[in-house]
Structure formats: C-alpha cells, structure tokens
A and B are shown apart, each in its own frame.
Chain A
Amino acid sequence: MNPETLLQVQNLSIEFGTSSGRLRALRGIDLEVPKGRIMGLVGESGCGKSTLAYSLSGLLAGNGEVSGGAILFDGADVTKMSDKELRDIRGRRVSMIFQDPMTALNPVITIGRQMLDIQYREPGTNAEKRARAARMLERVGIPDAAAQLGSYPHQFSGGMRQRVCIAMALLTKPDLLIADEPTTALDATLEVQIIELLRELQQEMDCAIVFVSHHLGTVAELCDDVTLMYAGEVVERGSVRDVFHNPAHPYTQALLECDPARMKVATRQLPTIPGMLPNLVDVPQGCIFASRCQHVWERCRSAHPHLSKTATVGHRAACHLLDAEGRT
C-alpha cells in the first residue's frame, strides 16, 4: 500500500437482511483516499453512498453486514475491528458530520457538555477541554463562543448547529472526516458558507475528507477527487477536473447533463435520466446501468464491466465502451 494512502476500500460488499431477501447494497467497491485529500462521493438517492460512508467507521445499521472485502484505514481493517477498537478510532482518527443538523445533537445536553464528553480520551483538565471547545466553536464562526457552551442545541439555527457539529468533528483533529451530505438540509447561502468553512479547516488541519453529496456543483467546488456510484457500484472515479470535463461513463455523462447549472439551452422541463434503479435483491447480470444507458450494446447485458483505465492516469470507469473503443 502506498504510504500516502490513508483509506483504502478493497472489493467491499455489504448486504442488508430485509423481509424480501438479501439486499446487496454495495458490490465490489474499490476506492482510495490519500492523506489530506478531499474525495467526493456522488450518486443519486439510494445508490449506497451513505451506506459506504457509515461503513467506513463501522457504523452500519443493525441488519447490515459486510459480506466481503476490506476497509483499510491506515493499514488496519475496519471491518474486522472489535467494538473497542472501533471506539478507539471513532472521534479521534475518524470523525463524522451528519446530514441533518437539527437532529444530530442531543437535545437535552448542553453543547459544552457534549463537546466535553467527546474529549474523554484526551489529556488535560475539564477547564482546558472547555477552553479547547470554545476555541473550536469560535473557529467555526460561532459568536460569543465561550458563553454558548452552556446553550442547548434547540437554541441554535440549523446552520449554526451544523457549525457546532463541524467543530465537534474537528475538535480531536482527526485524520479522516466523513461528511454525509452536510449541506443537504441547509439552504443555498448557508451551503456556500459551510463549504467555505470546510475547505479552510481542511487546509488548516490537513485531514482527508470523504464528502458525500448528490450535488455536483458542491463537489466540483470542494473536492480534489470524485467517485461516482450507481446502484451500489463504483462506475467512475478520478480527479474532479478529469471526471467533470471528460466524463467516461454514460451515467456520469447523463448526470452532468441533468445538472441545471450546466445546461446551455433553456428548456421548460428539467432533464432526467429515464428509467429506475435496478432491484438490488435480485441484481441483474451484466452492467448495472444497462437498463437506463443510451449506448447499451449486447455485451452490456451479459458481462459485468470492471473499472478500466481511460486516456488519463488515475481516471477509471466501469464501462464496456472504453474497452471497445480501445480495441476497434
């Protein structure tokens, strides 16, 4: 493993036991996050990006199960860790920010107490920890931070709560921050501010970020690399520049065409990708995107494509067209 790699996901598969059978939520996921880089994880709702994000710190829901592969965090496999080992890295080396700041903080405990609690393994007295918490709150732009330690979450607005969550997540200076759609529940102005804040803090602390989002513009703005997921598989990955300027997978191309910010011709209707996500209990053979793809040909129905190289180094996509174009 490259010493600069912080997180490596190898051939990861996750299944959920449901009443209608085993839902194969993630299948053969491969990805890599180098130290201090920001990686965007993009896909439509239900494609498994949040499942992947939670599994990175072993926080799968009770009916979820890792059925294959490994998640190597700094060389250690997260999927094989005991509860105690997981607790050891959570909040210290891997932190998370959640989608809905309105419900992410405990409603009956003060912000200060919650920020104190998460530092329970850190050295120092309670007064020092409180001071550290206040400094961090100030850093994320909360006015009168020291006094706010005695406040309860419901006394803050949504944007402020998300700032508190970010402060909590970065309080222990983690190596990896997992942000699960941190701006989805916020309005557009706040979104810009939070993204700005994340970028500044990332540069200051030099932590790696896995940024889960379905918003292409935000990813383009914040991230260094991007991984596109569709129905539980990685369909394309590469640097933001390569993927957004030169999308190789038909899904990426279609997704970019649907982004209102990128449309050049005015239309009365928002463009969509026709069709629906395939059933993940009974996963179809061949390419997972075949049923919705405009460029589908016979091989797409029979053989499952692997991530293959494109013309650019580090840019890969799982599509038979790449292979075919290379050959013919």
Chain B
Amino acid sequence: MVLGPRATPELIEQTRAAMGLDRPFALQMITFFGNLLRGDMGVDVFTGRSVTTTVMEALPYTLALITASILWAAAIGIPLGAYSSIRRNTWIDRVTGILSVGTISIPSFVMALYSVLIFAVWLRWLPAIGAGEGFGGQIVHLILPAFAVGVPWVGYIARIVRASMLEIMGESHVRMARAFGLTERRITRAYVLRIAVLPAVTLIGAGVAHLFSAAVFVEVIFARPGIGALIVSAVNERNYTIVLGAVLVTTAIIVLATLISDIIIAWLDPRQREGM
C-alpha cells in the first residue's frame, strides 16, 4: 500500500520483509511495543530516517504554537470573563458575551485564512508562511498562527470564568469577606478569581486535543513545520509509520496535558491536594 498502485510484486515482497509485515501479527505487536518502550517507533520507509527523529523534530513547533495560543487566550480570556462578571448586565458584559460566542463559533482555519489575508497580504505587517529563523524570527512567525488557534479559546475561557465568578460571588465566604470590610477589588482578585479559574484550567487541559486538531489546519495554511503538517503530508503519502508515530506522540501529549492541568488545579486548590 505504501508503494502505490504501480508497485511490482518483487518490490512489494521486499518492502514487506523490510517492514517485518511477513512475520506473525502477535510477534509484530510485541516487537512494536518493545521498541516503543525504548523510544524507537521504526523507520520511515520513504526517507530511511527514524520516525522518532522526524516526529520529535516537528513536535517543538506544534508545542510552541499550542502553548503560545493558550497562553495569550488565557491572558485575555480570564480578565475579560472576570471583568464582565463584575460589570454584569452592563453593555461591556453584553459586548463581551456576543464577542465570546462569536469567536467560539469561528473555526480556526477560517480565522487563519482571514488573518493571513489581512495582516500578511494587505497590511504586510507579519510573515504569512514558515516558522522563521532565530528566536526573534520564530516569535514573529508565531504571532498569526497562535492568534488563529487561540481566538476561540478567548471566548471559551471568558465565558467559563464569568459563569464561575458569578457563582462564587454568591457563596457565603464572599459575604463573610464583605462583612469584614475587605474591598471588592481584594475580594475578587484574591478570594474569588483563584477559585473561578479552576474550571477554565480543566477546560484547557481537556481541550488540548482540540488544540492539536486546530493546529493541523493552521500549520497547513501557514506552511509551518509541525505535527499537524507532518500528519497531513504523511496521510497524503500513505506513510503509515509516520502517521502512527505522530498520532502516538500526540496522544501521549494529551494525556500529559491532563496531568499538568490536574497539577495546576492541586496547586490552586488545597482541597484537591488531600486525595493525592
């Protein structure tokens, strides 16, 4: 299959032997998992390079993209949600609400295309394609893709922080803090926000899978190297070892992200530490 429809029978036999596909299925599985434990995901039959090397080369670009996206989305979304909960039912809250729902509804590839059109083609402020050279160049090349991936998350985070702020503001410990004359500013920043971001952290942790799928589109549009671009090209070439390796690493990262979000929650909320 890797070789395409015009492969000769001899070539097929040769490749089967090279990839170990002529051996029993059980043995294939054992060899695969055994090698996996040593960090070996096999060899890319097209280039002869190790799959691990190829995937690990692409991974940092995707991780940088995802991290940058979620960081800026949280940096805007959390204060926005908190602010609109304090100014509940004012025009600021309404505008934020409409914008949040709006950004959630826009797919990130649409956002990516339009941001390329506006900032790279029309305004020519930012580069449209590639990953850039050097640290500064990489940062500049990261701006548009991270913008496109992060935009819906601003909306998600703002909505969820607003909802949990409103809920916590009604709890009796907030009333007690008021009864002791603490200022509203102190109450919201130190007493409420810390609890209100917890659901947002869970949301982000569980949303890393979505971030990866958004990264697939965005990396293709911006011609960035990365896991997403790698998977797309590997699927087109029917390069199964690469697809398998990339999906495996992605899954591991998603599991890791859930773990990290749990650790952050435990750090923020002492009640969660008890069971650990």
A, B in one complex: yes
Interface size on B, residues (CB 8 A): 22
Which of B172, B180, B183, B195 interacts with A168 by CB under 8 Å? B180
A251 at interface, CB cutoff 8 A = no
Instruction: State whether A118 and B269 are in contact (beta carbons under 8 Å apart), knowing that A105-B173, A106-B173, A107-B195 are contacts in the complex.
Output: no
Residues of A62-97 whose CB lies within 8 A of B: 86-92, 95-96
Complex contact A89–B175 (CB within 8 A)? no
Flag if B171 contacts A103 (CB, 8 Å). Answer: yes
Given contacts A109-B190, A154-B271, whether A104 and B181 have CB atoms under 8 Å apart is no
A91 to B177, CA, bound (A): 9
Report Cα–Cα, A315/B269, bound state, in Å: 52
The chain B residue sitting closest to A89, CB to CB, is B181
Tell me, yes or no, whether A98 is within 8 Å of chain B by CB.
yes
B274 within 8 Å of A (CB atoms) = yes
| Interface: B176 (CB within 8 A) | yes
| Contact assessment for B177 and A154 in the assembled complex, using a CB-CB cutoff below 8 Å | no
| B249-276 with Cβ < 8 A to chain A | 268-271, 274
The reply to whether the CB of B87 lies closer than 8 angstroms to some CB of chain A is no
For B128-164 the 0/1 string (1 means CB < 8 A from A) is: 0000000000000000000000000000000000000
Q: Which residues of A contact B182 (CB under 8 A)?
A: 87, 91, 117-118, 120
| Chain B positions within 8 Å of A89 at CB level | 181
CB distance B195 to A91 under 8 Å? no
Residue of A whose beta carbon sits closest to that of B186: A117
**DSSP class of B's interface residues: helix, strand, loop or mixed?**
helix
Residues of B contacting A88 in the complex (Cβ-Cβ under 8 angstroms) = 181
> Complex formed: what's the CA distance from A91 to B186 in Å?
15
Q: Does B191 sit at the interface, judged by CB under 8 A?
A: yes
| A57 contacts chain B at the CB level, 8 A cutoff | yes
Contact, CB under 8 Å: A104 / B173 = yes
A59 near B175 with CB under 8 A, answer yes
B94 interface contact, C-beta 8 A: no
Task: Given A92-B181, A108-B195, A109-B190, answer yes or no on A154-B175 (Cβ-Cβ < 8 Å).
Answer: no
Contact A91 B180 (CB under 8 A): yes
Let me know if A244 is at the binding interface, CB within 8 A. no
Q: Say yes or no: A108-B194 contact (C-beta < 8 A), given A103-B172, A152-B270, A154-B274.
A: yes
Q: Is the CB of A107 within 8 A of B270?
A: yes
The 10 closest A-B pairs by CB, nearest first: A91-B180, A90-B181, A91-B181, A96-B179, A118-B180, A152-B270, A87-B181, A106-B173, A103-B172, A104-B176
Chain A residues with a Cβ under 8 A of chain B: 57, 59, 86-92, 95-96, 98, 100, 103-109, 117-118, 120-121, 152, 154, 165, 168
B interface vs A, CB < 8 Å? Answer: 171-173, 175-183, 186, 190-191, 194-195, 268-271, 274
Between-chain CB contacts (< 8 Å), 8 pairs: A59-B175, A87-B181, A91-B180, A104-B173, A107-B195, A108-B194, A109-B190, A109-B194
